[in-house]
Structure 1
Amino acid sequence: MSPKKVSVEVEGRDLNLSNLDKNLYPEFTKGEVIDYYAKAAPVMLAHLKGRPATRKRYPDGVDAQSFFEKNAPSHTPDWVRTVTVPTPGSSTGRESLDFVVVDDLPTLVWLANLAALELHVPQWTVGPRGAIHSPDLMVFDLDPGAPATIVEACEVARLLRDLLADDGLDSYPKTSGKKGLHLYVPVKESDRTSEYAKRAAQRLESDHGGLVVSKMDKRLRKGKILVDWSQNNPAKTTVAPYSLRASESPGVSTPVTWDEVENCRKPADLAFTPDEVLARIDEHGDLLEPLLREGPPLP
């Protein structure tokens, strides 16, 4: 076996890991990526389980070409769970694709070895036999338009939290791992999440038009926070909790507390390295654990 390959056993599955010393970030190797995902798995897997994963792969690192991958590659091991999902209107021209479902640690390590730095999942799940469930999560992507930053996104998050609470809905924040903030709402399975989220974003814009925009037009976003409700479209995905993000240094989409949101004064306050995220997991456990329980019905 090439010295660049290492054979390991992960929960009874044999994996060949390659090029572990290759830099996927300027100062973060593929081996460190795999190690981070293996250590984050005890909390991360619960948020991936049952959700078809879209992977963003960086075979030659974050400074080189990347690609989104939805279909399971031809060399997918037979023990990796895949599920056929209808994709009408897909840019591939195919009416369905075979998605990987990250239900266990060997699958997560296998994807990390493929340089799948980012894992994106929908707000709905698939059952054991492939039946597609209605969304059980609603998400708002709070995206700053320069010169606004995550500091202003935190202000909007608090406003949105209160609006949702008035409707009997609890919300839980995480960073995007880049410049924004995501707000998750667990709900009883519903096909109305996109409709409700759009209306909530419009209500917030109506009350706080100097700070909030709900339309996607980039010309409207300067200095404001886009409350992007569109990721509730069943065809769309959001970066998973604890996923790495591709940037000059490895950011992480990190669950945060409402106290941290309220006390954010500069972008660095809500920027976390992989080591910091692992330390936070040791300290707090999974701050997004409430997302794993059924939420209330939408009003």
Structure 2
Amino acid sequence: MTPITEVEGRRLALSNLEKVIHPATGTTKGEILHYYATTAEAILTHLRNRPLSFLRYPDGPGGQLFFTKNPPPGTPSWVRTTPVPRSEDKRAHQVVVGDLASLMWAANLVVEFHTPQWRADGPGIADRMVFDLDPGAPATIEECCTVALWLRERLAADGLDAYAKTSGSKGMHVLVPLEPTPSEQVSAYAKSLAVEGETARPGLILHRMTRSLRTGKVFVDHSQNSAKKTTATPYTLRARTEPTVSAPLTWEEVEARQNLVFRIGDIAPRLERYGDLLGPLGDPGRAGRLP
């Protein structure tokens, strides 16, 4: 029998709670739901009012993975959806998770949460910029840290604040709060910095996606600033063998370049110690203007 739980007045059927999702650690679906329940305040800050894309992995990261932007079959009527542009003459709907009940419903599907750099009430108008730092072996997250520090300094020269988080995979994300700006402008600026970085540090930074060029370098992926693209949401669990999280970092941790893998059990203590390190992304007073 599937247990029925009431969350904020909504009845939820939470299924297969004992099912192991992350085999390396024996992490169950019930533990994943507990993680989202205990970190809800932080992750909801970054999900609220943003159309969601889901990477679903209901049988674990070794099973079938499928990416969807459409509301999954069986989405309850009380889960909010929002119209989003898919092309010049077409619109579709995507889920928006803004409360605990919706978060727990989505988490029960076993998903990674991915969001664009714009809000549902301003499609294609970004309020943040992102750089996805992807190391090509033998480069690791340590080289990503060096690139993140270069980006932080370069952005500061343009009056922009930068914040870092792990991707939850092998790389890092550098995020910048912005005054509302068309995604095309943000994309062009982000690409210019990636190109500048490659010129300044040619042995380390690469701005092109070409796999053959990436050995030992860090690809600075600026493309996720496109209005059509999404990035792993802060605090989302990733579909990895272990239950790793896309976790906010202090710049001191980036400078130390050590111990930068965080799992679900690490996040509640970090929130207690630091609060939401990415909270400033939602502070209009911190939002910068592109030069």
Is structure 2 residue 225 aligned with structure 1 residue 250? no
Aligned residue number for residue 282 of structure 2: 292
Aligned residue number for residue 156 of structure 2: 165
Give the Cα–Cα distance (whole angstroms) in 1 for the partners of residues 273 and 199 of structure 2: 39
Q: Which amino acid counterpart does residue 139 of structure 1 have in structure 2?
A: V
Aligned residue number for residue 72 of structure 2: 73
Q: CA deviation at 1:73?
A: 2.2
CA offsets 1:107-153 (integer angstroms, 9 cap, x no match): 1100111112x1000000012xxx53610000000110000000000
Is structure 2 residue 267 aligned with structure 1 residue 277? yes
Q: Which amino acid counterpart does residue 241 of structure 2 have in structure 1?
A: E
Contact 1:70–1:97 (CA under 8 A) maintained in structure 2: no
What SS does the aligned partner of 1:270 have?
Answer: coil
Aligned residue number for residue 209 of structure 2: 216
CA RMSD across the alignment? 1.3
Aligned residue number for residue 153 of structure 1: 144
What SS does the aligned partner of 2:4 have?
Answer: strand
Q: CA deviation at 1:25?
A: 1.1
Output aligned runs, 1:168-247, within 5 Å: 168-191=159-182, 192-247=185-240
Instruction: Number of aligned residue pairs: give it.
Output: 285
Give the Cα–Cα distance (whole angstroms) in 2 for the partners of residues 62 and 74 of structure 1: 21
The runs of 5 or more residues in structure 2 that have no matched partner are: none
Give the Cα–Cα distance (whole angstroms) in 2 for the partners of residues 73 and 207 of structure 1: 45
Contact 1:245–1:252 (CA under 8 A) maintained in structure 2: yes
Contact 1:245–1:251 (CA under 8 A) maintained in structure 2: yes
Give the Cα–Cα distance (whole angstroms) in 2 for the partners of residues 125 and 97 of structure 1: 15
The runs of 5 or more residues in structure 1 that have no matched partner are: none
Contact 2:132–2:221 (CA under 8 A) maintained in structure 1: yes
Aligned residue number for residue 119 of structure 2: 125
Q: Which amino acid counterpart does residue 163 of structure 1 have in structure 2?
A: R
TM-score of the superposition, structure 2-length normalised?
0.95
TM-score of the superposition, structure 1-length normalised?
0.93
Aligned residue number for residue 57 of structure 1: 56
